[in-house]
Amino acid sequence: MGEIAQQDRKAADDLDAEAGPAGPSGSSVAAIAWRNLWRNRRRTWLSAGGIAFAVWMLVIALSMQDGSFEIMIDNGSRLLLGHIQIQHPDYQDDARIENTIVDATVLQRRVAGVNGVVSVAPRLQAFALVSSGERSFGAQILGVDPALEASWSTLPTMISEGRYLQRSGEVVVGTTLARNIGVSVGDEIVILGTARKGGVAAVVAELVGTFDTGQSELDRAIVQLPIADFREGWGIAEDEVHVLLVIASSVGRSEKIAGALGSGNSDWRALDWRALMPEAQQTIEMKAIGAYFFFALIATIVTFSVVNTFMMTIFERTREFGMLVAIGMKPGAIMLQLQLEAVWLALLGVGSGWLIAAGFILPLMSFGVPLPEEAGDLLRRYNMPERMYPTFSYTAAWLSAVIMLVGTQLAALIPGLRIRKLRPVEALRAH
């Protein structure tokens, strides 16, 4: 009891010594709040540790999740769609063969010179019937530059039989489509569609390879042939394309590049992966909601523990608060001091959480997290890396800081409301 009384007198003396004619200044109250935080070091570190754990968990979880999402998006983009597509303004909504980009060569060179762009490839696209003998199936026909396609796309590495395109007069199809029309490598395929001017587009080509992406919707509906053959069959001019596919140095940079390429012109528009793969965007949003819900649960538990901390603080310092009220300090000022103590506690916990999270994530960003060896064959089949590299989630860092600051303020306010009903005489008699 003597030690508590000494602490009470010291707190009152500190406040009285630093107070001016109008009461203590903001800086002096903040300094006293910081000193009060360390009157029970063990409790302070336990509360700050709970906050740090919650922050660490959110930052780690979202950083690992962002890293896995980036791998997923990059692999999906490099299969067929690219990180960015430059198209005729109406092509995304109305994929008619007439909606082409003119002077594509000049635009291709211009885009290739943009900082952060790794590769730019032209493509022509149409839907047609693919047949052999009496069997016919509908498919999407892609006219590609074989050399450029092989430099960025993972599809050429997924050839299960034969080889990828090398010259005019060749075609590659998915394994499911080849089975449906009853052809194998070396057989002849006939492609029939509608040409640009309304006539019949006809292409006869040799099947030189079949690919297996593991996605049945692609393996039964995608056909690739050299872009020159497509131009001849569909009557497309030499310098026109439907799409310029752009590969950026990273998925994150592709969004900024798409914004820069698409602004200030009406001859084309640039679509990033979010517009090209809306299903992936929805998956990411759903998983992010799950992660935030889990963090909200952890944050609620931590907030209740901080409430308990401040309840104990108020019970232990009842004599001190009674003394402060007796010498003329208003209850609101005491509550402000408690709120400042909560701010210091939150900053201590959040700062510790950031440091611990950075200590975990930064090395992993360089060295990666090895994936199970048992999945090696599956990873190679889908061109997945053997290591996953997390991406530090700055969104998680600042969001966790805001949530914990708000949470600790509420945690201090709830028990702090008792001070408004504090009676000095009764408080000074408290043990």
pLDDT per residue as tens, the chain (431 positions): 444 445 445 554 554 444 444 445 556 778 888 888 888 888 889 888 989 998 998 888 888 888 888 888 888 888 889 999 999 999 988 888 999 999 999 999 999 999 999 999 999 999 999 999 889 999 999 999 999 999 999 899 889 999 999 999 999 999 999 999 999 999 999 999 999 888 899 999 999 999 998 888 889 999 999 999 999 999 998 899 999 999 998 888 888 999 888 777 778 899 998 888 888 888 888 887 887 788 888 888 888 888 888 888 777 777 777 777 777 778 777 788 888 888 999 999 999 999 999 998 989 888 877 766 655 555 555 566 667 788 888 888 898 898 888 888 888 887 777 777 767 656 566 55
Structural domain span for residue 57: 2-73+282-429
Residues 160 and 127 reside in one and the same domain: yes
Instruction: Give the whole-angstrom CA distance, residue 352 versus residue 53.
Output: 9
For 224, the enclosing helix (H) or strand (E) is strand 222-226
Question: Are residue 43 and residue 118 in the same domain, yes or no?
Answer: no
d(CA 91, CA 94): 5
Reading the block at residue 243, the tokens are: 């799409």
Instruction: State which of 218, 241, 264 marks the end of a domain.
Output: 241
**Residue 265: partners with Cβ closer than 8 Å, 6 or more residues away:** none
141/126 Cα distance (integer angstroms): 5
Name the percent of the chain in helix, strand, coil, to the closest 5: 60, 20, 20
Give the whole-angstrom CA distance, residue 270 versus residue 122.
Answer: 14
For residues 172 and 352, give the distance between their C-alpha atoms in angstroms, rounded to a whole number. 56
* DSSP H or E stretch at residue 367: helix 331-367
Of the residues 192, 218, 241, which one is the last residue of a structural domain? 241
Contacts of residue 382, defined as CB under 8 A and 6 or more positions apart, other chains included, come to 75, 213, 214
d(CA 221, CA 202): 18
* Of 217, 241, 265, the domain-final residue: 241
Cβ atoms of 180 and 135 closer than 8 Å: yes
- In terms of Cβ atoms closer than 10 Å to its own Cβ (0-12, 13-18, 19+), residue 358 is middle
Measured CA to CA, the distance from residue 36 to residue 53 in angstroms comes to: 23
d(CA 240, CA 105): 8
427 with 327: CB under 8 angstroms?
Answer: no
Contact in structure between 69 and 273 (CB atoms under 8 Å): no
pLDDT for 5 equals 47
Instruction: Examine the domain organization and report whether 329 and 396 are in the same domain.
Output: yes
DSSP-based three-state secondary structure for 207: strand
Question: Do 65 and 111 have their domain in common?
Answer: no
Is residue 89 within 8 A of residue 104, CB to CB? The reply is no
- Amino acid type, 16: D
Query: Does 256 reside within a domain?
Result: no
Query: Residue 353: which of 59, 11, 6, 129 has the closest Cα?
Result: 59
Residues 124 and 32 in one domain: no
Give domain status of residue 250, yes or no: no
> In terms of pTM, does the model score above 0.85?
no
- Tell me how far apart the alpha carbons of residues 420 and 431 are, in angstroms, rounded to a whole number: 20
Residues 156 and 39 in one domain: no
The tally of domains found in the chain comes to: 2
Q: Are residues 360 and 315 in the same domain?
A: yes
Cβ contact 276:283 at 8 Å: no
Burial 158-192, CB ≥16 within 10 A → b, else e: bbebbebbeeeebbbbbbbbbebbebebeeebbbe
Do 304 and 220 fall within a single domain? Answer: no
Distance CA 128, CA 210 (A): 18
Q: Which two tokens stand for residue 189?
A: 């395929």
Question: Does some domain include residue 290?
Answer: yes
Residues 342, 212 share a domain: no
Same domain for 109 and 50: no
pLDDT at 378: 55
Q: How far apart are CA 272 and CA 85, in angstroms?
A: 7
Residue 82: inside a domain? no
In whole angstroms, give the CA distance from residue 416 to residue 419: 6
Spell 254-270 as b/e; 16+ CB within 10 A means b.
bbebbeebbeeeeebbb
Tell me if 45 is assigned to some domain.
yes
Bridge partners (DSSP) of residue 425 are none
The pLDDT of residue 430: 58
Q: In this structure, are 213 and 142 located in the same domain?
A: yes
Q: Is residue 190 located within the same domain as residue 103? A: yes
Res 143: pLDDT: 95
pLDDT of residue 23: 47
- Determine how β-strand 159-162 pairs with β-strand 19-20: unpaired
Q: Give the model's pLDDT for residue 219.
A: 92
Cα separation, 407 vs 414, whole angstroms: 11
86 within some domain: no
In a domain, 202, yes or no: yes
Residue 362 lies in a domain: yes
User: What is the rounded CA–CA span in Å between residue 73 and residue 75?
Assistant: 5
pLDDT score for 17: 47
Q: Which two tokens stand for residue 394?
A: 């700055």
